[in-house]
Amino acid sequence: MAQIQWFPGHMAKAKRQISERMKVIDIVIELVDARAPYSSKNPMINEIVKNKPRLIVLTKKDMADEQITAKWVRYYESLGYQSMSVNLKNFNEYQKIIEKCRKVLKPKMEKELSRGLKPRAIRAMVLGIPNVGKSTFINKLANRKATVTGNRPGVTKAQQMIKVDKDFELFDTPGVLWPKFDNEQVAKNIALLGSIKQTILPLDDLFIEAMKYLTIHYPEVLKQRYQLEIDLDHPDWLLETFDHIAQLRKIKPLKGETDYDRVMALFFSEINDGSIGRITWEEPACVND
């Protein structure tokens, strides 16, 4: 698959701003997508956060394979991180995140009180690559439309401090991607999550990769959603797949041929919104560093 790169200027600026503000932050809430918890975890954040307390929150668990999500939570906890999975559509889970942060920071806050410092609000920074649910997360906690949300990457550009309550403040940042993908598999997974603008993607390559993966790991999803069973050894499996989905979803031919672009647009839309079914694109066993 062709190499995927995307690092808009506002992301480079955000990295500098995050580094500058880190000294006043008590805890980092790092959001990753439960469908690809390794690929959506920006390694550049490790350089910036360093030893700051961190809570890794796997978002969109309602769209991911439940058993594999549990494996990922255990994996990150084995590395010494606090970790949990959430469905951002359920408001009660937001309170669990705040309580987890308070539990992690309880020794620090008690130490400050013992030194005679006045009680203060916990300052948390929310970090994550585009489209992991950061704006939705902040809006729900702030109980108002504090940031612009949208199912596309790069909609949050500015940084802002948002008061959740008298004891908890959130510092928001734009979604930040690393400048270069050294791992082609990571790039593919990021693309499948919708964290890169589709206009710069080789969609045909991505469609092939996704169909192969689903055929091997989630054949029941293809059968249920598209009434489709793929034989990857058949030389015409790809064309037959396009034709089948087009016919099933009544996508009109384009100049007498299957409208491949519309089929792919439909497919990726159903991946992004979760209507295709619960899918996880990687397991902890894929991590080799």
Q: What is the CATH number of the domain that holds 60?
A: 3.40.50.300
228 within a domain of the structure (yes/no): yes
265 within a domain of the structure (yes/no): yes
- Average pLDDT over all residues of the chain: 85
Same domain, 224 and 160: no
The answer to whether residues 106 and 154 touch, using CB atoms and an 8 Å cutoff, is no
260 within a domain of the structure (yes/no): yes
Count of structural domains, the chain: 2
Residue 141 belongs to what domain range? 9-172
Q: What is the CATH number of the domain that holds 257?
A: 1.10.1580.10
DSSP line for 44-72:
HHHHHHTTS-EEEEEE-GGGS-HHHHHHH
Same domain, 154 and 247: no
Same domain, 13 and 117: yes
Long-range own/partner contacts, residues 91-99 (CB < 8 A, 24 or more apart): 91/140, 94/137, 94/140, 94/141, 97/29, 97/55, 97/57, 98/141, 98/164, 98/168
pLDDT of residue 288: 60
| Rounded average pLDDT over 149-153 | 42
Same domain, 52 and 139: yes
The most confident of the ranges 112-126, 244-258, 275-289 is 244-258
Residue 163: phi and psi, rounded to 5, are -85, 115
pLDDT of residue 170: 87
241 within a domain of the structure (yes/no): yes
Residue 19: phi and psi, rounded to 5, are -60, -40
pLDDT digits (tens, 9 = 90+) for 247-261: 999 999 999 999 999
pLDDT digits (tens, 9 = 90+) for 66-103: 999 999 999 999 999 999 999 988 888 888 999 999 99
Q: pLDDT confidence of 56, banded at 50, 70, 90?
A: very high
Same domain, 28 and 142: yes
Same domain, 155 and 47: yes
Same domain, 71 and 162: yes
